[in-house]
Amino acid sequence: MQKITLIWFRRNLRLSDNAVLQHAVMRGLPLTAAYVLQRPSESVNPRQAAFHHQAAAELSAALAEKGVPLFAVQGDVAEAMLDLATRLNAQYVLVDEAYTPSEIERDNRIWRLLDAQGIAFERFNDRTVFAKADIMSEHGRPYLEFAPYKQAWLHAFAQQFTEQRPSEQPKIPFQTAFADLPPFPEMEPIALMQQGGEQAAWRQWQQFAPQLGVYPLLKDFPAKKATSQLGAYLSAGCISPRMLAVEAAARGAHDWLENLIRRDFYQQWMFHHPEAAQQMDDDIAVNADFFRRWTQGETGFPLIDAAMRCLQRSGWLPPVLRRVVAQFWCVTLQQPWQHGARWFAQNQLDDDAAVNLGNWQTAAGLLSLHTPRVPHPTVAAQQFDPDGTFIRRHLPELAHLPKDVIHAPWLARADVDRHGYPLPMVEI
């Protein structure tokens, strides 16, 4: 039986600028692919599971056009990958580099199982612009602060990507090594605000790119919808962060490029500080009533509640509001960040363990030497949603209120009908 190269697609569900796929083609052996299937009903984050399933289904169809099968496996991941690799007579198993402690632990187990069978297990960076140890201090240590990391990142980017662009889609020769290509499993229907897949990712970028010039002016006004909404595609790997970085730099979009730099920073932070990720599982006491009202959008602070209802209903929230609601939870309510981070991880369409952890530890003041400045929720509402458009969109019970009342309806007391909207849960 002929040897093959097995590509395990995880968070790199694309063909363009896919380092794993490029190295697989270079091996010169027939290709096959695998995807670990997690159905929405089996996931703590059904939206994201459905989104990734859509992306994998599109990828399966694109590979099938080249005669490359994509096998959907289930059950114990390590045992399933070992079984597939041995059954297909794989010489190599190639996969995108992992960053979370749980993934790294699992990868090490898989490496041992495959190595015992004489199968090579190789990993390549496909999730970030720079890999986890590419950007280090002059002492060879990971940066602890974002500002110096950003400067080092920009310097490395200028050296590496000024003349060298990320590769386009590799030329995959049509193969006939597999007589039958397995159909990709269908998924139970679930409503999503975005369509998964590489084609949809590029459509989203092309739609957003013309707005890069006004992004610095409008990014903190959620009612304007001026952010890229590419997070879900980056998290699933439907679009290459390297290609986006080159595109953004070429357009002079330095403010938006900082999002990709911060994403790299959080990924390398998680790798070098696995204990931070393990803190996510700490069982710390929480005020149950606070948690219920915060997650249900019933705190009595309109911008906070509008943001939380938006996230709960759609799975997405503008970055500025993620920061506002996280700081409200961690700093204003003095509640443990772990509970907020876990709830976000269960609801975000674009959930990424490293980015979620980094954002929450930043909100809690753990990733900075400086105490975060947290504005009063009413001040934040007036700053980020001055005319109340975003609030009205998600709090219909307050939609009739004018802009000089909607941010703090409790001050009007009996003069307005709040249609059951609660008073503030705490005095600030």
Which residue is listed with tokens 């198993």? 93
* CATH class label, 4-127: alpha beta
| Token output for 327 | 């700081």
Which residue is listed with tokens 């997405």? 316
CA angle 38, 43, 48 (to 5 degrees): 80
Annotated binding site for FAD: 215, 256, 350-352
Order of strands, sheet of 31-36, starting from the edge strand that comes earlier in the sequence: 70-73, 31-36, 4-9, 90-96, 120-124
Residue 122 has pLDDT above 90, yes or no: yes
State the pLDDT at residue 195.
95
Query: Band of the pLDDT at 147, cuts 50, 70, 90?
Result: very high
State the pLDDT at residue 167.
72
Q: What is the mean pLDDT of residues 398-403?
A: 94
More confident residue, 33 or 370: 33
- The 10s digit of each residue's pLDDT in 26-46 is 999 999 999 999 887 888 999
State the pLDDT at residue 417.
80
State the pLDDT at residue 1.
80
- The 10s digit of each residue's pLDDT in 211-248 is 999 999 999 999 999 999 999 999 999 999 999 999 99
CA–CA separation, 235 and 249 (whole Å): 21
| Token output for 186 | 């269908």
* CATH class label, 288-411: mainly alpha
Residue 372 has pLDDT above 70, yes or no: no
State the pLDDT at residue 164.
66
Query: Band of the pLDDT at 136, cuts 50, 70, 90?
Result: very high
Residue 421 has pLDDT above 80, yes or no: yes
Closest CA to 72 of 123, 119, 33, 25: 33
- The 10s digit of each residue's pLDDT in 173-214 is 888 778 789 999 998 888 999 999 999 999 999 999 999 999
- Contact by Cβ (8 Å): 40, 187: yes
- Contact by Cβ (8 Å): 55, 197: yes
| Token output for 205 | 């970028």
| Token output for 85 | 């690799």
Residue 133 has pLDDT above 80, yes or no: yes
Q: What is the mean pLDDT of residues 350-373?
A: 86
Annotated binding site: 215, 256, 350-352
State the pLDDT at residue 92.
98
CA–CA separation, 2 and 330 (whole Å): 57
State the pLDDT at residue 173.
82
Q: What is the mean pLDDT of residues 119-131?
A: 97
Q: What is the 3-state secondary structure (H, E, C) of the chain?
A: CCCEEEEEECCCCCCCCCHHHHHHHHCCCCEEEEEECCCHHHCCCHHHHHHHHHHHHHHHHHHHCCCCCEEEECCCHHHHHHHHHHHCCEEEEEEECCCCHHHHHHHHHHHHHHHHCCCEEEEECCCCCCCCCCCCCCCCCCCCCHHHHHHHHHHHHHHHHCCCCCCCCCCCCCCCCCCCCCCCCCCCCCCCCCCCCHHHHHHHHHHHHHHCCCHHHHCCCHHHCCCCCCHHHHHHCCCCHHHHHHHHHHCCCHHHHHHHHHHHHHHHHHHHCHHHHHHHHCCCCCCHHHHHHHHHCCCCCHHHHHHHHHHHHHCCCCHHHHHHHHHHHHHHCCCCHHHHHHHHHHHCCCCCHHHHHHHHHHHCCCCCCCCCCCCCHHHHHHHHCCCCHHHHHHCHHHCCCCHHHHCCHHHHHHHCCCCCCCCCCCCC
Q: What is the mean pLDDT of residues 157-166?
A: 80
Question: Is CATH 2.50.20.10 correct for 128-168+199-272?
Answer: no
State the pLDDT at residue 58.
98
| Buried b or exposed e, range 298-326, using 16+ CB within 10 angstroms | bbbbbbbbbbbbbbeebbbbbbbbbbbbb
Kindly report which listed range (20-24, 188-192, 388-392) carries the lowest average pLDDT score. Answer: 188-192
Mean residue pLDDT of the chain comes to 93
Q: How many C-alpha atoms does 319 have within 13 Å on its Cβ side? A: 22
Domains of the chain: which residue ranges?
4-127, 128-168+199-272, 288-411
**pTM of the predicted structure, to 2 decimals:** 0.95
State the pLDDT at residue 91.
98
Kindly report which listed range (15-24, 88-97, 362-371, 381-390) carries the lowest average pLDDT score. Answer: 362-371
State the pLDDT at residue 166.
75
CA–CA separation, 394 and 384 (whole Å): 15
More confident residue, 31 or 163: 31
Query: Band of the pLDDT at 371, cuts 50, 70, 90?
Result: low
